[in-house]
């Protein structure tokens, strides 16, 4: 990384700093992993005029080599191939099907990457060399009113990021 003294910045240039962090477990450190089940909507009829729901699970598992620690984390989901959360879109040979992922079964909060749209968690790692885990449901919904949808197999890929 190269640092440029403030006196050398052009007047219209704001500082931009990119930082890549790589976690390396150390003595007494907490290590976490994330896994997810696929979200499968099954057959969907756009002519029904109603939303179509499904559910998947995200599992966060944390480990401590010393015990008596706590793992506090935040789970974020990116926008997938659509590049937007309003709404996400599954793709099938150039056709799209609008859907979204939610933090609860009330479908009120879209699960995303911004503050207030992520899910926070905490695991008490009481014993050394024991993995503790917690499951989080992901509520998926294909949005109603898509009578223009073409027949096909629609897919998307969403990245899960766990920050701890």
Model-level pTM?
0.80
Domain that holds residue 109: 31-38+59-163
The C-alpha atoms of residue 158 and residue 18 are separated, in whole angstroms, by 23
Structure tokens given for 150? 């073409």
Contact 102, 108 (CB under 8 A): yes
Q: List the CATH number of the domain containing 91.
A: 2.60.40.1090
Structure tokens given for 46? 């756009």
pLDDT for position 9 = 29
Quick check: 58 pLDDT over 80?
yes
20 domain-assigned: no
Quick check: 132 pLDDT over 90?
yes
143 domain-assigned: yes
Peptide bond between residue 61 and the one before it cis (omega within 30 degrees of 0): no
105 domain-assigned: yes
Domain count for the chain: 1
End-to-end CA distance of the chain: 24
43 domain-assigned: no
């Amino acid at each position: 990384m190269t640092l440029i003294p403030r006196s050398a910045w052009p007047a219209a240039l704001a500082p931009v700093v990119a930082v890549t962090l790589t976690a390396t477990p150390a003595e007494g450190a907490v290590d976490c992993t994330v896994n997810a089940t696929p979200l499968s909507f099954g057959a969907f009829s756009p002519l029904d005029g109603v939303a179509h729901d499904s559910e998947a699970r995200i599992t966060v598992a944390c480990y401590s080599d010393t015990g008596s620690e706590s793992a506090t984390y935040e789970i974020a989901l990116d926008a997938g191939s659509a590049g937007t959360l309003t709404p996400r879109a599954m793709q099938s040979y150039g056709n799209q099907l609008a859907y979204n992922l939610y933090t609860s079964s009330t479908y009120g909060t879209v699960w995303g990457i911004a503050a207030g749209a992520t899910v926070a968690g905490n695991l008490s790692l009481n014993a050394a060399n024991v993995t503790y885990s917690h499951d989080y449901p992901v509520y998926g919904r294909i949005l109603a009113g898509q009578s223009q949808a073409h027949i096909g197999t629609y897919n998307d890929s969403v990245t899960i990021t766990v920050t701890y």
